[in-house]
Structures are given as C-alpha cells and as structure tokens.
A = this chain, B = another copy of it.
C-alpha cells in the first residue's frame, strides 16, 4: 500500500468508521491508532467489530505519535483539531472529521462554538454544487493537504437542496429542513438521554429554534450553491436507530417551476455521480438502503398547493456523513480514484 495513515479518536464512532473503511482501502495502510483515555488498550476491546485490527494497541493522541504518516485523520472533539493540526507538517494530508475548519465565517464559528476561529479548509463534499454553472466542490480537492469533513446533517441537507438553488428553481429565503438522525450522531459520550432504554422506541427533537451548530454550515453550503445568502429553519431530531439520517428539506418554489424541471436539474446534477442517486419516481428512500455505505439516495416532490419543493435524502451519518465522505475526499486529494475503498453496498435488511 502506498500511503500510511494515523487515525486519532480511534475509539469513538467516527474514528471507528474511518478505520472500518480503511481496512478495505487498497492504497492506505493503517499504521497508528490513537486515543487519549484508552491509550494502552487493545483496539479489539473497544471496537470489537474491527476484527482485523483487534490486536492493535491504542497509543496516546500526541503530535509525536501522529507524526511521520502520509495521512492523519482527526476524529477529535470540536475545538481540538486546530491545535493538533498545527503541529503536523504542511505536506501531511490532514483530514479533520471535527467541525473546527468547516466554517468560513469567523463570526458564525464564534457564535455557535464560542471559541476562536481556526480558519476554513477545503470542504470535503465532492458532489456539492457550488455555483449556478454546476461546478462542484470536487474541483477544490485534488492536491489539498488539509480537508474539513462536512457535518453529517449538512451532508444530507446540502445534497438535498443544492441543485435546486443552483438552478434557481427555489427561493433562497425561508428554507425549512427537519432531519432525523440515528443516535450514533451524538457520539459515544455517555449521557442519560442516550441510553438504550431511553432512545429505543422513542423520538425527540433537540437544538430546536436555530441553535444547532450545523445550521450555519448548512446555510454556508446552500449560499455557495445559490450564489446568495439563504435563511434556514433547521430542526434535528433523534430517531431510534443506531445510524442513518433522513432529511426532509423544503423550499419555496419559484413561479412556474414544475416537477419536470426540478427532476431534470437533479438528473443533471447527480446523473453521473457514483454515490448520489435520485430514485425513480414513486420510490422513496429508506435509511436502511444506505446503511454502512457511502451512498446517498434522494427523492423529490413538487407540492403546487403548498408552493414548495420537498426533497428527501438519506445517508448513513457515519459513512457518507463522516468517514466515507472523508475517504472520498482524501482519494481526490491524493489523486486516487474517487471511489477507491468505498465500493460497499448498503446493509439491508
């Protein structure tokens, strides 16, 4: 294998998914796995599903342990990536699964995260349409040595609405998005409301009223797509499943836009994408259909009575929404085939 990698935060959900995907990547060798509080333990005790890596020893997350690799994955709590990245040489490809380098706006960062802004890195959502000409984020990634992996909610939301905004089919104002996420999205933090007995069989909202940290990130990406600022009401909810995000995204239709035009725009946007699929008419997406895979599936409807476009998208929050998107972007950065190591289909039923 050509490249060596270190994965930090290897005992969490994002780090574990990065490792799972790298186990199947033919050109990347997992050289080092790090975590702070579990340093010294066997990975098999902490991530028992990674059978191939069961005997690996977890070492502490230090700049010294991360140094000397071609690629470093950071799956650390928000606010910790910038400090670590600063100690890595500029030629190391650093892939940050945390939020630190996603937002261009220092003001938005400070308002939602309450700490100093670390600056934005190239945004790792290759399929994201970033201007009305249909150009995608993909173009910015080859050769990049710093990559900000998008948040999981933003991945689902941006894939759902960027084509409509870029094509001028919907208004940029008053976008409404409601997303349902599996509980792994909340991480491995041990909090009472995330216990199995509390989450199984139950749904609940959180971060309602604009307070969720993913709101400015979604607005940023939608503004790129549409070429102007957008306003968004975003409500995340917690669903009784380990993985997956179902996003229901709606926007006000511009006058005269019918379903045919919208469907054409989405076909134009995603027809050649290996991982993003507009389903045939009449077939609605299920999160199960993308479980454990880097695929996203979409369906759309034009509601003339309400005057809104409704787009449903499904992703696996840990795969396309985190680790899969990270590997896909890394492939582009390294000049490898974009789909390398990401060939897995969804796990269903």
Contacts and interface: CB of A to CB of B under 8 A. Distances in A.
A180 to B, nearest CB: 5
A205 B292 contact: no
Contact of A308 (B176, B198, B349): B176
22 contacts: A13-B197, A49-B293, A49-B348, A50-B346, A180-B237, A184-B197, A194-B195, A196-B200, A196-B242, A199-B200, A201-B201, A201-B243, A201-B244, A202-B286, A202-B287, A205-B248, A209-B310, A233-B308, A239-B239, A291-B347, A344-B344, A347-B347
A77 B19 CA distance: 38
Contacts of A114: none
A299 interface: yes
Interface string A250-267: 101000000000000000
A254 B227 CA distance: 28
Contacts of A194: 195-197
A142 interface: no
Given A196-B199, A203-B244, A284 B348 contact: no
Interface of A: 13, 16, 20, 23-24, 42, 44-45, 47-52, 54, 174, 176, 178, 180, 182-184, 186, 188, 190-192, 194-206, 208-211, 215, 231-235, 237, 239-244, 246, 248, 250, 252, 277, 279-280, 283-293, 295, 297, 299, 301-308, 310, 312, 314, 343-349
Which 3 A-B pairs give the minimum distances between C-beta atoms? A209-B301, A49-B346, A196-B199
B277 A54 contact: yes
Contacts of A182: 197, 201
A293 B49 CA distance: 9
Given A188-B192, A204-B284, 6 more contacts: A16-B349, A42-B280, A195-B195, A196-B199, A235-B248, A243-B349
Contacts of A290: 49
A266 to B, nearest CB: 14
A194 B200 CA distance: 11
A306 B178 CA distance: 13
A306 B190 contact: no
A219 to B, nearest CB: 9
A248 B237 contact: yes
Contacts of A188: 192, 195, 197
A208 B249 CA distance: 11
A241 B200 contact: yes
A174 B252 contact: yes
Given A241-B201, A286-B203, A209 B174 contact: no
